[in-house]
């Protein structure tokens, strides 16, 4: 077993990025479906705009915009449907923590620790957003 050549390293990186992209795609589908569940008059962004977060570097900034707009949209929707919420802007706090930690994770040395924390916050935010969508769907049908 010799050293890996440049071609093999590039191939491994492409495969690794592909595997990293799969959860991100499912996450963005969750965000898009949640925004679709919100009445158009309560939306602060269009559902398809979540996909802009796939643009390298710009996506780090766009995540902040998604989290803020989704929090405001959920707040307006919950108020119009008389749904209870423990947060003023549903999901905003954990979403903001995820965004900040994701940005800090690009800093060498500290990045590893904040990267892990960012991953945890991202998963918690994702689950919260999914649960908000389920709550709205249940309320609409019930």
Which tens digits make up the pLDDT trace of 12-43? Answer: 878 877 778 899 999 999 999 999 999 999 99
pLDDT digits (tens, 9 = 90+) for 36-87: 999 999 999 999 999 999 998 999 999 999 999 999 999 999 999 999 889 9
pTM of the entire predicted model: 0.88
pLDDT of residue 2: 55
Alpha-carbon span 36 to 51, nearest angstrom: 14
pLDDT of residue 142: 58
pLDDT digits (tens, 9 = 90+) for 107-132: 988 888 899 999 999 999 999 999 99
pLDDT of residue 11: 83
Q: Residues 73, 83: contact at Cβ < 8 Å?
A: no
pLDDT-based confidence at residue 141 (cuts at 50, 70, 90): low
Alpha-carbon span 137 to 142, nearest angstrom: 8
Alpha-carbon span 44 to 47, nearest angstrom: 10
Closest CA to 133 of 15, 13, 23, 32: 32
């Amino acid at each position: 077993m010799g050293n890996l050549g440049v071609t093999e390293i590039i191939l491994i990186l492409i495969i690794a990025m592909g595997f990293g992209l799969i959860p991100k795609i499912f996450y963005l589908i969750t965000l898009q479906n949640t925004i679709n569940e919100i009445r158009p008059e309560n939306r602060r962004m269009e559902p398809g705009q979540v996909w802009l977060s796939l643009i390298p570097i710009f996506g780090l900034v766009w995540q902040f915009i998604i989290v803020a707009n989704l929090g405001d949209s959920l707040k307006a929707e919950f108020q119009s449907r008389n749904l209870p919420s423990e947060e003023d802007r549903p999901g905003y706090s954990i979403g903001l923590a995820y965004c900040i930690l994701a940005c800090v994770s690009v800093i060498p040395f500290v990045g590893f620790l904040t990267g892990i924390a960012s991953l945890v916050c991202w998963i918690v935010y994702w689950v919260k957003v999914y649960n908000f969508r389920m709550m709205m769907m249940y309320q609409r049908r019930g």
